[in-house]
């Protein structure tokens, strides 16, 4: 088996970034969408929540197909359908069509996870953590650029413009993937679809590291969405009154997370996954202090965003590297199980944060986020004392 070429890793990374960006365009546009469709600030979070619900459904029903079907066809088909869902959002005449388009976009955006699992399968064991880190870096950059570009385009041409642009880019990516991805793959295991889906839940019973890292994903991504979902509301309101372009620029502040992702995968390959996890979780918890100062200092928010995204992506890549080492033949199902909890956490964080903002303002949001991170850190400490993750981390090295 040959090492995965750098050009192929780059394509996987760009494709993942474009696909995952579709889920995050709405975050800096929530106030514009609320105004366009007469939705209240307390309920506009449903836009992000339905996207994450769709994502969760896709993780269960679509991602495991990567262990059963030809992944090239699966990836290209999902990418083409994603373009259609984006056009539905761009042309939505009312909130019902908007919410349907958002749900379908989330459902089909799980092609990102099929790509990550496929890259991990093609990589040599010694390079798997690095490859996962680079591909995940593309995901991080896609998320960050999604917020920034969406905000800028909203100021230039309205909130619908970004969805028209993304639909075109997604069609182009489908063509590139069709031409570049391997045409011939190793035979997939002969099993029925129902048994395949059931086996995802069976892996939770059989693999302690999957259970533990999935719960960490739920908690850490819930806390991240507690920050990102309502952030546009205080920044757009007086006295700050920032434009969509200015709000979107805060997405770039998390670029350090993309840099940390590849490095975290390299450290996980060396058996240092638990060390990376502890530092990352501490960084996330500490980030909420400067974030709480947002309305008096945008520099404090900048520091908090960098710190939060740095910790989030580092623990995420470490978790993926540890999980992929236990069942090489079940990469897609492991991804589905792990990312299902990511999606649940993101959905809960989105809807909970906007409700908290309506009830207790920005300080309430920060207390909620810090509380979730504190629970995540305590949970990690308990799993470390159990000893199971350490054994799995050793296997990954």
**pLDDT tops 70 at residue 269:** no
Residues above pLDDT 70, as percent of the chain: 86
Distance CA(339)–CA(226), nearest Å, equals: 18
pLDDT tens-place string over residues 131-140: 777 887 788 7
Return the residue matching tokens 């309205």. 158
Q: What is the CATH number of the domain that holds 350?
A: 1.20.1250.20
137-160: b or e for each residue (b if 16 or more CB lie within 10 Å)?
A: bbbbbbbbbbbbbbbbbbbeeebb
Q: Quick count: other Cβ atoms within 10 Å of Cβ 238?
A: 6
Q: What is the pLDDT of residue 288?
A: 95
- pLDDT tens-digit profile of 309-344? 888 888 888 888 788 777 766 777 888 888 888 878
Specify the range with the lowest mean pLDDT, choosing from 38-52, 64-78, 226-240: 38-52
- What sign does the CA torsion over 301, 280, 205, 61 have? positive
Q: Is 14 part of a structural domain of the chain?
A: yes
Query: CA distances (Å), 359 to each of 211, 227, 279, 346, 356, in order?
Result: 33, 16, 32, 20, 5
Whole-angstrom distance, CA of residue 369 vs CA of residue 286: 11
Q: Is residue 272 part of a domain?
A: yes
Range with top average pLDDT, 207-216, 271-280, 321-330:
207-216
Structure tokens at 137: 């870096």
Please report whether residue 381 resides in a domain. Answer: yes
* Structural domain range at position 392: 6-396
Task: List the structure tokens of 166.
Answer: 């993304």
Let me know if residue 151 belongs to a domain: yes
CA angle in degrees (0–180, nearest 5) for 356-357-361: 115
Whether 95 shows a pLDDT value over 90: the answer reads: no
Q: Is residue 362 part of a domain?
A: yes
Mean per-residue pLDDT for 104-126? 84
Higher pLDDT, residue 107 or 60: 107
Q: Specify the number of domains making up the chain.
A: 1
Residues counted in the chain: 397
Residue 1 placed within a domain? no
- Looking from the CA of 220 toward its CB, the CA atoms found within 13 Å total 32
Q: Tokens 């890793």 correspond to what residue?
A: 9
- DSSP annotation of 288 reads H
pLDDT at residue 264 tops 60: yes
The answer to whether residue 297 is domain-embedded is: yes
Q: How far apart are CA 61 and CA 309, in angstroms?
A: 29
Q: Is the pLDDT of residue 390 over 60?
A: no
Residue 84 in this model has a pLDDT that exceeds 80: yes
pLDDT (0 to 100) of residue 397: 34
Could you report the per-residue pLDDT of 154-209, keeping only the tens digit for each? 888 888 999 999 999 999 999 999 988 877 665 555 567 888 888 888 888 888 88
Residue pair 294/346 in contact by the 8 Å Cβ criterion: no
Number of helices (H), then strands (E), in the chain: 17, 0
């Amino acid at each position: 088996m040959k090492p995965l070429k750098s050009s192929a890793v780059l394509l996987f990374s760009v494709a993942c970034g474009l696909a995952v960006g579709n889920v995050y365009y709405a975050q800096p546009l929530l106030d514009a969408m609320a105004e366009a469709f007469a939705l209240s600030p307390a309920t506009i979070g449903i836009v992000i929540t339905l996207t994450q619900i769709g994502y969760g459904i896709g993780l269960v029903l679509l991602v495991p197909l990567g262990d059963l079907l030809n992944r090239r066809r699966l990836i290209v088909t999902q990418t083409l359908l994603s373009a259609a869902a984006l056009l539905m959002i761009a042309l939505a005449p009312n909130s019902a069509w908007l919410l349907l388009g958002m749900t379908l976009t989330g459902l089909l955006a799980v092609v990102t996870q099929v790509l990550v699992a496929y890259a991990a399968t093609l990589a040599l064991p010694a390079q798997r953590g690095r490859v996962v880190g680079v591909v995940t870096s593309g995901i991080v950059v896609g998320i960050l650029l999604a917020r920034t570009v969406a905000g800028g385009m909203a100021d230039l041409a309205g909130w619908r413009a970004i969805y028209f642009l993304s639909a075109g880019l997604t069609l182009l990516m489908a063509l590139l993937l069709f031409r570049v991805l391997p045409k011939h793959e190793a035979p997939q295991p002969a099993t029925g679809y129902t048994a395949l889906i059931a086996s995802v839940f069976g892996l939770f019973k059989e693999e302690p590291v999957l259970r533990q890292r999935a719960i960490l994903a739920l908690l850490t991504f819930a806390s991240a969405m507690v920050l990102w979902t309502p952030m546009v509301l205080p920044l757009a309101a007086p006295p700050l009154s920032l434009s969509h372009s200015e709000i979107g620029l805060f997405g770039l502040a998390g670029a350090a997370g993309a840099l940390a992702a590849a490095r975290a995968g390299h450290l996980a390959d060396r058996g240092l996954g638990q060390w990376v996890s502890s530092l990352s979780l501490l960084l996330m918890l500490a980030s909420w202090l400067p974030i709480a100062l947002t309305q008096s200092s945008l520099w404090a928010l900048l520091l908090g965003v960098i710190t939060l995204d740095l910790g989030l992506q580092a623990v995420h890549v470490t978790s993926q590297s540890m999980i992929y080492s236990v069942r090489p033949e079940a990469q897609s199902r492991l991804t589905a199980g792990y990312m299902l909890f990511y999606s649940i956490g993101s959905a809960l964080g989105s809807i909970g944060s906007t409700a908290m903002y309506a009830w207790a303002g920005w300080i309430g949001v920060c207390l909620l986020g810090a509380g979730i991170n504190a629970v995540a850190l305590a949970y990690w400490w308990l799993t470390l004392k159990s000893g199971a993750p350490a054994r799995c981390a050793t296997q990954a090295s």
